[in-house]
Each structure stands twice: as C-alpha cells, then as structure tokens.
C-alpha cells in the first residue's frame, strides 16, 4: 500500500489544503495528514481543534488519517514507516523554502522523498495567513475554507460581510 504524509500546521485548514488531499489520493492509496505541533508559532486554533476541523472536513474520505507530530518530520515519517512527503506549492516563493526543506529532510533521511504538487488554479492565492487576517478584520472567508472552518471562524470573529 502506497502512503504519503501531508504535513502542515493547517491553522486553519483551507479549501486549498482539502483540494491537495483529494488530488494526492489520486496518486497514493492513503494519506496521513500530519498536523504539526509548533510552540514557536502563535496559533489561532489549538492543536486539538485543528485536528477536529480536519477530521470534519475529510470525514467523507476513509483513506485519510489525521494525526499530530512534534519534532522532526523525518523522525515522524520513520516511526510511521512512510517514505514520501506530499507538499503543496502555490507560488514560486513557496518553492525556495520547500526545496530547502526537502533537501535537509533528504540529508537527514536519505530514503525520504518529497513530492511537490501545484495547488489548483482556483486555490493558489489562498493561504492560512491570509484567511486568519481576513477573518480577524471581519471579512468573509466562506469561499476560502470548508464549511466547518467557516462556522468556527464566524463564531470567533463574526462575519460582517455576509
């Protein structure tokens, strides 16, 4: 069975993330969506809430497991017995960072490969940072995030624009 890990902070999960999961499942038998615990980031949602939102958003896909990890991604992949990482690219600016990460991961774990997938043209402009900012300022993010995330953001910040 061919499995890949799709790691990220998913704070919050966006339609772009969900699109990448569904497209990744066309390449792999299963995916582990691995939510990073990063104490250095000022997260909008707690780790458990991000996991729960992802599970709600991906409830219709039995080939997806949502899990968490802390520390080095290469160690997590080794523990899970998975040799492929799936990473999304939105713009050229993403590539430089992702390229560096893929190379350091390869140096730390030579058997770990990274697959880059371009984000769908309908989602390339969406980032979790942008979604957080728009929501904090009272704008509608309904078209940018799955319904459970939109409901949670509206509960947090309200939706002044409908």
| List 87, 128, 132, 152, catalytic entry | 128
Is 55 designated active site? Answer: no
Strand partners, 117: 88
Sign of the dihedral through C-alpha 118, 119, 121, 126: negative
CA–CA separation, 116 and 149 (whole Å): 25
| List 22, 90, 106, 142, catalytic entry | 90
Is 17 designated active site? Answer: yes
Strand partners, 3: 30
| List 17, 50, 87, 132, catalytic entry | 17
- For tokens 């939109």, name the residue: 150
| List 37, 41, 136, 161, catalytic entry | 41
Is 30 designated active site? Answer: no
Is 128 designated active site? Answer: yes
CA–CA separation, 82 and 114 (whole Å): 11
Catalytic (active-site) positions: 17, 41, 90, 128
């Amino acid at each position: 069975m061919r499995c890949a890990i799709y790691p990220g902070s998913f704070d919050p999960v966006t339609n772009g993330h969900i699109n990448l999961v569904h497209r990744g499942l066309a390449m792999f038998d299963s995916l582990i969506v691995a939510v990073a615990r990063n104490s250095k980031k000022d997260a909008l949602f707690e780790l458990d809430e991000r996991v729960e939102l992802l599970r709600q958003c991906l409830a219709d896909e039995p080939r997806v497991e949502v899990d968490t990890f802390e520390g080095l991604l290469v160690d997590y992949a080794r523990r899970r017995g998975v040799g492929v990482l799936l990473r999304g690219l939105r713009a050229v600016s993403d590539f430089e960072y992702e390229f560096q990460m893929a190379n350091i991961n390869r140096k730390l774990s030579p058997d770990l490969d990274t697959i880059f997938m371009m984000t769908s043209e309908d989602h390339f402009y969406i980032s979790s940072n942008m979604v957080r900012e728009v929501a904090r300022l009272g704008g509608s993010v309904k078209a940018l995030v799955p319904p459970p995330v939109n409901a949670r953001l509206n509960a947090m910040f309200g939706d002044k624009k409908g």
